[in-house]
């Protein structure tokens, strides 16, 4: 049964993408690359999801930015690397992570959850992997995951609206995740406790 689901899941996603208004897809629509649901507290590599596949760069990781000890969430251009494992958790406590509900992200080897902070020189809200530094503005809200074509996008939401997570290349050529722009499309690969 599990094998059948694994085999069928990519086709089901394709079918959803082609035939339905994405808002109509059931809540249990988040899957990893092995065809399993996304589970609370499990570590995943978050990889680009694109038709270009292997050419799309590596999985998400973090990089020290500027002169501060701020660590930004980045997506390097190097191909064929998984990036750093990310613990995805569900503050609501249910076992399966569903779209449109709050989720927390943190790199498995970092203690802070991701937060959204303001870069005064670039004028963008970017995702920080180690919290806000003194004097940095933090945006209030929660992350959510939803479907985007054949992958998933992240949004950052407050009670009145959501902004998509896209990316921007900073002065040091780090491709940082940040609010605004075209949403970045991801897939989740179980890191199997890495």
Interacting residues with ligand NAG (CB under 6 A) = 45, 81-82, 189-192
Q: Which is nearer to ligand NAG, 47 or 179 (CB)?
A: 47
Q: Which is nearer to ligand NAG, 105 or 125 (CB)?
A: 105
Q: State in angstroms the smallest separation of the CB of 186 from ligand NAG.
A: 14
Decide if 130 contacts 70 (C-beta within 8 A): yes
Q: Which is nearer to ligand NAG, 173 or 192 (CB)?
A: 192
Report CA 39 to chain centroid distance, whole Å.
Answer: 14
Rounded CA gap, 191 and 57, in Å?
A: 18
Cα dist. 87→24, 66, 69, 118, 146 in Å?
28, 26, 22, 23, 17
Percentage helix, strand, coil for the chain under 3-state DSSP, each rounded to 5: 15, 35, 50
Decide if 36 contacts 45 (C-beta within 8 A): no
Rounded CA gap, 63 and 82, in Å?
A: 15
Q: Which is nearer to ligand NAG, 74 or 117 (CB)?
A: 74
Decide if 116 contacts 129 (C-beta within 8 A): no
Q: State in angstroms the smallest separation of the CB of 70 from ligand NAG.
A: 26
Q: State in angstroms the smallest separation of the CB of 79 from ligand NAG.
A: 10
Q: State in angstroms the smallest separation of the CB of 58 from ligand NAG.
A: 9
Shortest-Cβ-distance residue relative to ligand NAG = 82
Q: State in angstroms the smallest separation of the CB of 52 from ligand NAG.
A: 18
Q: Which is nearer to ligand NAG, 9 or 157 (CB)?
A: 9
Which letter does DSSP use for residue 38 in this model?
P
């Amino acid at each position: 049964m599990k094998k059948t689901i694994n085999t069928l899941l990519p086709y089901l996603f394709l079918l959803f993408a082609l035939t339905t208004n994405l808002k109509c897809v059931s809540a249990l629509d988040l899957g990893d690359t092995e065809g399993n649901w996304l589970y609370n507290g499990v570590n995943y590599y978050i990889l680009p999801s694109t038709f270009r596949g292997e050419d799309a760069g590596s999985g998400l990781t973090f990089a020290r930015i500027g002169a501060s000890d701020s660590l930004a969430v980045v997506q390097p251009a190097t191909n064929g690397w998984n990036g750093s494992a990310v613990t995805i958790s569900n503050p609501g406590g249910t076992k399966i992570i569903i779209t449109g509900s709050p989720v927390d992200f943190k790199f498995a080897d970092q203690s802070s959850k991701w937060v959204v902070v303001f870069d005064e020189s670039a004028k963008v809200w970017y995702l920080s992997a180690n919290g806000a530094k003194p004097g940095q503005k933090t945006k209030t809200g929660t992350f959510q995951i939803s479907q985007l074509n054949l992958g998933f996008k992240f949004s950052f939401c407050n009670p009145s609206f959501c902004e998509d997570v896209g990316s921007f290349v900073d002065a040091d050529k780090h491709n940082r995740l940040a609010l605004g722009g075209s949403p970045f499309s991801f897939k989740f690969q179980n890191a199997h406790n890495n």
